[in-house]
């Protein structure tokens, strides 16, 4: 069995593959801690120890999930400094490009909703990465929590629609609660419909801690992707519904194993999804807290038996449903196709 905390050697044939990560959160306080630690020549927070304790102390599923992210809130004041803001985002993008990523779509919650000028800072981070990796593209996905108060939702939805019309964003993640039990999706559909009408693609987190909400999620206006959907893989009728819908699943295996959506890498339903004809993408979700990278995720899936052409399909699947403009998509597909042509 693959240990979720194992040092995985990335074989050269996997290291050189063009990769895409379309489900990664900004993890702003863990990233901030990492860049501040480097600057202060100290060790960053020990996320491996933290995650091991999480797995020991809490049952799989929702109880583990609710303990991620808030760990490091006390250092968030440092995020007010634009250079720190850029640096923590640069950290995400540089980590990905080092592993061969040509596309990284980062999800932002409060930091995007409450710091509207942050798009300029994110573009600056992307520009700096492109100095070394000119082919690399970054996508920005607003993460909309339905638990936010109505005033905030009424402020940010029109703002995101304006950004869509200005060609600054191309998709959004609508997060409905409750997550583990069946939710009322009326408001989520309403918001998704507004965003989709403005041209945005929609993704949702679903079936990560239970099979609840999967069928409702598939009815979301504008839906092209599902985050996780892991539990759908344990129920053939749900797998079939996803296959029929044509949506892509964003699979984050290490996150699923550590939070308990899957008991192990070996029993993860990614192969079930592929066998059912569902396009899958490989993603990292919360790579700092899960101590992984996109290259490591590709290497793990390779160890599980996915061939190099199958890994290349994952990259292509991600590019095809990425929330980017058509010109960027053609550019990335060309890089992918050129690689495949040279490989075969
Ligand atoms: Zn996620």
* 2 within domain boundaries: no
- Give the integer Cα–Cα distance in Å for 162 and 24: 24
* CA pair distance 62, 53, nearest whole angstrom: 15
Lookup: tokens for 323: 């929330």
Decide if 208 is inside a domain: yes
The three-state secondary structure class of 205 is strand
C-alpha to C-alpha distance for 51 and 319, rounded to whole angstroms? 30
Q: What is the whole-number distance in angstroms between the Cα of residue 263 and the centre of ligand 1?
A: 18
Give me the CATH number covering residue 196.
3.20.20.140
Q: pLDDT tens-digit profile of 302-339?
A: 999 999 999 999 999 999 999 999 999 999 999 999 99
Which residue's structure tokens are 């690689």? Answer: 339
Which residue is it, tokens 């044939």? 13
Q: Residues with Cβ < 8 Å from 267, sequence gap 6 or more?
A: none
Q: How far is the CA of 260 from the centre of ligand 1 (A)?
A: 14
The whole-angstrom separation of Cα 47 and Cα 232 is 29
The answer to whether the CB of 248 falls within 8 A of the CB of 228 is no
> Structurally, how many domains does the chain consist of?
1
CA separation for the pair 294, 298 (Å, rounded): 6
Structure-token pair, residue 285: 């979700």
Q: Which among 159, 136, 147, 261 is positioned nearest to 207, based on CA atoms?
A: 261
Residue at 3 is within a domain:
no
pLDDT of residue 254: 98
Structural domain contains residue 6: no
Distance 344 CA to ligand 1 centre (A): 34
The H or E element spanning position 175 is strand 171-175
Residue 8 lies in a domain: no
Å from CA of 141 to ligand 1 middle: 11
Mean of pLDDT values over 111-135: 91
Domain presence at residue 5: no
Domain assignment of residue 58, given as a range: 17-343
> Is 12 domain-assigned?
no
Q: Tell how far the Cα of 227 is from the centroid of ligand 1, in angstroms.
A: 6
Gap from CA of 315 to ligand 1 centroid (Å): 18
Say whether pLDDT at 48 is over 70.
yes
DSSP reduced 3-state for 20: strand
Q: Specify the pLDDT at position 278.
A: 98
pLDDT attached to residue 70: 67
pLDDT in tens, 148-178: 999 999 999 999 999 999 999 999 999 999 9
Per the CB < 8 A criterion, the answer to whether 2 and 300 are in contact is: yes
Residue 4: inside a domain: no
Environment class of 335 (CB within 10 Å of its CB; exposed 0-12, middle 13-18, buried 19+): middle
Distance from residue 26's CA to the centre of ligand 1 (Å): 10
Span from the CA of 337 to the centroid of ligand 1 (angstroms): 28
CA-based radius of gyration for the chain: 19
Angle subtended by helix axes 186-197 and 150-165, to nearest 10 = 20
Residue 329 alpha carbon to ligand 1 centre in Å: 23
The rounded Å distance from CA 293 to ligand 1 centre is 14
Task: List, for residues 173-226, the tens digit of each pLDDT value.
Answer: 999 999 999 999 999 999 999 999 999 999 999 999 999 999 999 999 999 999
Cis peptide, bond prior to residue 178, ω within 30 of zero: yes
């Amino acid at each position: 069995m693959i240990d979720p905390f194992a040092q995985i050697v990335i074989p050269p044939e996997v290291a050189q593959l063009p990769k895409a990560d379309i489900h990664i959160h900004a993890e702003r306080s863990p990233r901030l801690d990492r860049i501040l630690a480097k600057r202060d020549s100290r060790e960053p927070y020990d996320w491996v120890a933290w995650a091991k304790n999480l797995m020991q102390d809490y049952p799989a599923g929702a109880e583990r999930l609710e303990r991620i992210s808030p760990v490091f809130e006390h250092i968030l004041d440092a995020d007010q400094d634009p250079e720190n803001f850029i640096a923590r985002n640069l950290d995400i993008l540089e980590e990905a490009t080092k592993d061969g990523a040509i596309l990284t779509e980062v999800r932002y919650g409060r930091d995007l909703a409450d710091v509207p000028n942050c798009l300029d800072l994110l573009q600056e981070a992307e520009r700096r990465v492109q100095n070394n990796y000119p082919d690399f593209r970054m996508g920005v996905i607003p993460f909309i929590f339905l638990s936010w108060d109505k005033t905030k939702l009424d402020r940010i939805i029109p703002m995101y629609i304006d950004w869509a019309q200005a060609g600054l964003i191309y998709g959004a993640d609508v997060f409905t609660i409750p997550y583990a039990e069946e939710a009322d999706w009326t408001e989520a559909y309403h918001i998704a419909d507004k965003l989709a009408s403005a041209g945005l693609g929609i993704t949702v987190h679903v079936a990560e801690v239970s099979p609840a909400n999967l069928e409702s999620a598939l009815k979301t206006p504008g839906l092209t992707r599902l985050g996780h959907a892991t539990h759908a893989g344990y129920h053939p009728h749900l797998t079939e519904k996803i296959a029929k819908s044509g949506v892509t699943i964003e699979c984050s295996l290490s996150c699923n194993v550590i939070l308990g959506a899957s008991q192990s890498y070996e029993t993860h339903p990614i192969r079930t999804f592929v066998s059912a004809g569902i396009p899958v993408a490989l993603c990292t979700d919360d790579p700092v807290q899960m101590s992984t990278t996109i290259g490591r995720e590709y290497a793990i899936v390779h160890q599980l038996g996915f061939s190099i052409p199958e890994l290349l399909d994952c990259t292509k699947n991600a590019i095809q449903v990425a929330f980017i403009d058509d010109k960027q998509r053609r550019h990335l597909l060309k890089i992918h196709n050129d690689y495949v042509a040279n490989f075969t």
